[in-house]
Amino acid sequence: RKRQRYVEKDGKCNVQHGNVRETYRYLTDIFTTLVDLKWRFSLLIFILAYALTWLFFGLIWWVIAYSRGDLEHLGDHTWTPCVNNLNGFVSAFLFSIETETTIGYGHRVITDTCPEGIVLLLLQAILGSMVNAFMVGCMFVKISQPNKRAETLVFSSHAVVSLRDDRLCLMFRVGDLRDSHIVEASIRAKLIQSKQTQEGEFIPLDQTDLSVGFETGDDRLFLVSPLIISHEIDERSPFWDVSRGQLERDDFEIVVILEGMVEATGMTCQARSSYLADEVLWGHRFTPLLSLEEGFYEVDYGGFHHTVPVPTPACSARQLAAAAARRDAHLYWSIPSRLDEA
């Protein structure tokens, strides 16, 4: 059975919230709720917000004209209406649009003999400015969200396990396709795996940190060219006792998170990806991408996902460390004995 991903390759999280009873909490932060909506719903709300306010105030202008008797004295030049050239609901609706959008064609204009109209004009101007600020701000934030910047941050399709300086390491590659850089970029990795505690409690999708250089500062990236992120499998790693055979049987997911600030806008950007157990290649290494040309370095992204097999022990990191310790002990005791013989 294929494992259900917790995080998709493109960074989308496969988590849906159900049976949420406190839905009023979404309305307490209506701005974020509107920003999080899909584009078709955002555009629908955007259109409805303007259309309903225009219709509402247009209806009030028509009621004022009707109650004052302006509609009954349309041809009477001696009568001073509240709004000149307002002869029905359609013209009242158009005057409402002109007032709220400050278009002002000049054909329909309010007179100074209508105090209720002056109050309504001030009210509509203030409320219209608030609606404009809210809706335009919502659209601007939605357009300028840094999510699209994450589309040009790429992760290798596979992670690999191989030796680095005689130590087993789990590695994956990250890269930035744009010339504008990600400032203060940092990388994190999480192991997602269900487990059962000693007390018998079952914890689904438990999250464990995978160290990618937090203690040494190597998790802070200067992402100008593609980088290989390495997790050293030591005694603190959850893969300390995992061999090649066990890796092929295990059921887990590694979620990697790249965060940074977009240089062009100053907004924080986050890109995510994940690797299932069958996407971790034991005994492979990434091929180099960087070459030196005349006056610059060139990155060949055509081989970004390419790996090559390399000799790698199939045992776990614990067994490899124990074998190295035995070898060092043998050398320690054999050197004095050879000196005694000499």
pLDDT digits (tens, 9 = 90+) for 265-284: 788 889 999 999 999 999 99
Q: Are residues 196 and 253 in the same domain?
A: yes
Q: Which of 143, 161, 190 is the last residue of a domain?
A: 143
Question: Is the CB of residue 68 less than 8 Å from the CB of residue 114?
Answer: yes
168 and 281 both lie in a single domain = yes
Mean pLDDT of 309-322: 91
Q: Are 132 and 99 in contact (CB under 8 A)?
A: no
One domain, residues 309 and 160: yes
Q: What is the pLDDT of residues 35-87, one digit of tens each?
A: 888 889 989 988 999 999 999 999 999 999 999 888 888 888 888 898 888 88
Q: State residue 339's pLDDT score.
A: 44
Say yes or no: 139 and 150 in one domain.
Answer: no
Q: Based on the domain organization, do 96 and 194 belong to the same domain?
A: no
Percent of the chain with pLDDT over 70: 95
Residue 9: inside a domain: no
- Kindly tell me if the per-residue pLDDT of 341 is higher than 60: no
**What pLDDT does 295 receive?**
85
* Structural domain contains residue 336: no
Q: What is the span of the domain harbouring residue 65? A: 21-143
Q: What is the pLDDT of residue 63?
A: 93
- Distance separating alpha carbons of residues 249 and 49, to the nearest angstrom: 55
| 333 lies in some domain | no
* Across 20-29, 168-177, 196-205, 260-269, least confident range: 20-29
pLDDT digits (tens, 9 = 90+) for 82-127: 888 888 999 999 999 998 888 878 788 888 888 999 999 999 999 9
Does 229 fall in a domain?
Answer: yes
Q: Any residues with CB less than 8 A from the CB of 290 and at least 6 apart, and which?
A: 225, 226, 297, 298, 299
- The answer to the question of residue 240 being in a domain is yes
124, 54: one domain: yes
204 & 125 share domain: no
Q: Are residues 61 and 41 in the same domain?
A: yes
CATH number, domain containing residue 63: 1.10.287.70
Last residue of a domain, one of 143, 173, 197: 143
Q: Are residues 168 and 55 in the same domain?
A: no
At residue 310 the predicted structure's pLDDT band, cuts being 50, 70 and 90, is very high
In a domain, 341, yes or no: no
Same domain, 205 and 323: yes
Residue 4 has pLDDT above 50, yes or no: yes
Inter-residue contact 14 to 21 (CB < 8 Å)? no
- Residue ending a domain, among 128, 143, 158, is 143
- Is residue 237 included in any domain, yes or no? yes
Q: Which pTM does this prediction carry?
A: 0.76
In a domain, 15, yes or no: no
**Domain identity same for 198 and 64:** no
CATH number at residue 263: 2.60.40.1400
Question: Would you state the structure tokens that stand for residue 23, as one six-digit string?
Answer: 């839905």
Into how many domains does the chain fold? 2
88 and 172 co-located in one domain: no
Compute the distance between CA of residue 16 and CA of residue 26 in angstroms, rounded to an integer.
Answer: 16
Q: What is the mean pLDDT of the chain?
A: 87
